[in-house]
Amino acid sequence: MFISDYHVHSEFSGDSIEKLENIINRAKEIGLKELAITDHYDFDMKNTPDFMVNLEKYVPKILDLKEIHKKEIDIKLGLEFGMQKHLGELGKKIINKYPFDYVLSSVHSIETIDVSLPEFFKNKSPEEAHGKYFQAVLDCINAYDDFSVCSHLDFITRYGGEKFKNLDYKKHWDIIETILNRIIEKNKGIEINTSGFRYGENRFYPCEDIVKRYFQLGGEIITIGSDAHKAKDIAMNFKEVYDFLESINVKYISSFDRREVSFKKIK
């Protein structure tokens, strides 16, 4: 049985139309104990105007559902904050205004350019594009403290077409280790995001070697998220993650309540 899904999108996100009631019913149906709704807040993102969740409507709705369903499932008020290095103060202001349980920090855009768009990859080699992405992740971690975990750390391979699919980890390993060390120093965590299976990459984000290194360096905080935008995808491919964590002797995953971390034993 899976414990939780800590990365789920609903009708409040610009890229989903799934009703919250469908999401919650699906989570209960498959026996989840916790469910984090983490709709998008991406500010100052060029050509992508619809990714700022309406927090004045979103927050009360999630809190109402949290109360209604509390005897059956623990619904977490979450947010996926699209971080850029100049948005640290904005992030702090927004996140501390509301009673969030859990905040994902995600780099979806760099210098206001959406990394899913061809514009980001134009006139760049794979090494340049991937290096720019990892540098942006590091810059954001250095600029911003108001988050729980860094999401889908190497998901940049999802974009740019076939030429950019193969990430040469050896060329970027120094900065990846620096990122992991900074996350640990700040007492933050990483997520294992299973959407890579749905995007045809047949893996989770970040790759197994990065997750292993995170634990070797002393990291402890980890969540598992499907990045589902449809109810049917909740907890998709979680068995692969649980099996992997067992194989590297990880016995706990993290839980958050009002942004305070605790740990749940993997059965």
* Residue 228, CA distances (Å) to 16, 23, 103, 187, 232 in order: 9, 9, 16, 26, 8
Helix, strand, or coil (residue 37): strand
Q: What is the mean pLDDT of residues 79-108?
A: 96
Q: Residue 183 contacts by C-beta under 8 Å, 6 or more apart in sequence? A: 141, 150, 189, 190, 214, 219
- Distance from the Cα of residue 193 to its chain's centroid: 7
pLDDT tens digits, one per residue of 229-266: 999 999 999 999 999 999 999 999 999 999 999 999 99
Amino acid 66: pLDDT: 98
pLDDT tens digits, one per residue of 16-55: 999 999 999 999 999 999 999 999 999 998 866 678 999 9
pTM reported for the whole predicted model:
0.96
10 has a pLDDT exceeding 70? yes
Amino acid 177: pLDDT: 98
Bridge-partner residues for 265, per DSSP?
Answer: 252
- CA nearest neighbour of 99 among 78, 81, 83, 80: 78
Helix, strand, or coil (residue 43): coil
Percent of the chain with pLDDT over 70: 99
Q: What CATH number is associated with residue 172?
A: 3.20.20.140
* 163-187 as b/e: b if 16+ CB within 10 A: ebeebeeeebeebbebbbbebbeee
Residues 219, 225: Cα–Cα separation, whole Å: 18
Supply the DSSP string of 188-240, one letter for each residue. -EEEEETHHHHTTS-S-BS-HHHHHHHHHTT---EEEE--BSSGGGTTTTHHH
Amino acid 223: pLDDT: 98
Angle at 227 between CA 103 and CA 263, to 5 degrees: 50
pLDDT tens digits, one per residue of 173-210: 999 999 999 999 999 999 999 999 999 999 999 999 99
Q: Lowest-confidence range among 17-31, 43-57, 62-76, 132-146? A: 43-57
For the chain, what is the mean pLDDT?
Answer: 96
Amino acid 1: pLDDT: 84
Which domain covers residue 89, as residue numbers? 4-265
* 68-96 as b/e: b if 16+ CB within 10 A: ebeeebbbbbbbbbbbbbebbebbeebbe
Residues 262, 254: Cα–Cα separation, whole Å: 6
Number of domains in the chain: 1
Q: What is the mean pLDDT of residues 109-128?
A: 96
Q: Residue 89 contacts by C-beta under 8 Å, 6 or more apart in sequence? A: none
Residue 63 — left, alpha, or beta (φ > 0 → left; ψ -120 to 50 → alpha)?
alpha
Percent of the chain with pLDDT over 90: 96
**Do 229 and 16 form a contact (C-beta atoms < 8 A)?**
yes
